[in-house]
Amino acid sequence: MNRARMIGLLACGIGLAGAAHAAGEAVCRPALAVSDVKFSTMQPPAMGRTWTAVVSVDASRCATTVGHFEIGFSRLKENGPEIDFREQFAWQTSAVNVSVDFWADEAVESYWLNTIAACPCRR
């Protein structure tokens, strides 16, 4: 029993030491903003629609010029349940065009910047 406690305490100590080390490092993220959002008209032959947007990027705090981010969507469907999902994209300095295809009976109720990956900080 004592041996199990000692191993548990040792594991907790190592975990806390690693967390303290990680907390001391500076974490940066680019500032992203979504604009120029459009939802296309139905396009033959499948009659699908495309959601497009421009994501402007301010990566002045980052030491890199590329990274990843996710946009979350709440999708409405004419004959089905509403579902939330995420799509991953890559950002580059200044701006990036993004698009997601939808079926004819689907629409975007809302969207949001979901996750923006951390980048190495500029020194």
Mind listing the pLDDT tens digit for each residue in 51-104? Answer: 999 999 999 999 888 999 999 999 999 988 999 999 999 998 889 999 999 999
Question: Predicted confidence band at 5 (pLDDT cuts at 50, 70, 90)?
Answer: low
DSSP string for 68-118: EEEEEEEEEETTS--EEEEEEEEEESEEEEEEEEE-TTEEEEEEEEEEE--
CATH of domain 27-116: 2.60.40
DSSP character for 20?
A: H
Residue-wise pLDDT tens digits, 16-44: 444 444 555 678 999 999 999 999 988 88
SS3 64: coil
